[in-house]
């Protein structure tokens, strides 16, 4: 009963802070509400018995990502009007074609995944590891290797895109 009450309280706080993130007008306050949201998600992970994910949530998201957001918010001048410049070298059609190709590929992966027969686990084949962290690592690099690699490729593309966007023309 106490665990259910804690779960609903933490879930209500997560939803409340998420609403505050998108509804506040001050961007610094929005980032601070985002920190609180990440911390309550970490508390939810602890409540569910995933201590490793809670630690990663606090270290990576509440620590690293939000500091990056704060630097961006404080360094970017949000008061100036947007520029009316359009880049003549912009290739919007190429962007649309690449986005369509990625969507077709994701759709093909989804169709291929549903068309394959489900693998029945062998009764004697248990994970050879014990502990929360070891089980996550075992599953991540065996059963969920393809989604892990796709996520890493998306992060690489996002990083390259951020570098290209941040690069100043000399």
The pTM assigned to this predicted structure is: 0.55
Residue range 101-130, pLDDT digits in tens: 999 998 888 888 777 676 655 554 555 656
pLDDT at 170 over 50: no
Q: How confident is the model at residue 138 (pLDDT cuts 50, 70, 90)?
A: confident
pLDDT at residue 125 in the model: 52
Q: What is the DSSP string of 9-37?
A: HHHHHHHHHHHHHHH-S-HHHHHHHHHHH
Within 10 angstroms of residue 104's Cβ, the number of other Cβ atoms is 10
pLDDT at residue 84 in the model: 63
Cα–Cα separations (whole angstroms), residue 116 to 103, 109, 111, 112: 20, 11, 9, 6
Residue range 12-53, pLDDT digits in tens: 999 999 999 999 888 888 888 988 999 999 999 999 888 888
Task: Give the fold, CATH level 3, of 2-75.
Answer: 1.20.120
pLDDT at residue 123 in the model: 55
Across the chain, mean pLDDT equals: 81
Annotated domain spans of the chain: 2-75, 130-170
- Candidate from 39-43, 60-64, 72-76, 162-166 with smallest mean pLDDT: 72-76
- Collect all residues with Cβ–Cβ distance below 8 Å to 129 and sequence separation of at least 6: 135, 137, 138
């Amino acid at each position: 009963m106490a665990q259910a009450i804690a779960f609903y309280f933490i879930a209500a706080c997560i939803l409340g802070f998420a609403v505050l993130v998108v509804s506040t007008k001050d961007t610094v306050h929005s980032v601070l509400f985002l920190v609180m949201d990440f911390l309550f998600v970490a508390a939810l992970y602890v409540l569910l018995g995933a201590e490793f994910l809670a630690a990663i949530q606090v270290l990576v998201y509440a620590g690293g990502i939000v500091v990056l957001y704060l630097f961006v918010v404080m360094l970017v001048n949000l008061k100036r009007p947007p520029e009316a410049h359009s880049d003549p070298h912009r290739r919007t059609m190429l962007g649309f074609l690449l986005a369509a190709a990625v969507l077709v590929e994701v759709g093909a992966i989804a169709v291929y995944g549903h068309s394959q027969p489900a693998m029945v686990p062998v009764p004697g084949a248990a994970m050879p590891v014990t502990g929360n962290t070891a089980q996550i690592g075992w599953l991540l690099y065996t059963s969920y290797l393809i989604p892990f690699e796709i996520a890493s490729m998306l992060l690489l593309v996002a990083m390259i895109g951020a570098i290209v966007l941040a690069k100043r023309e000399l």
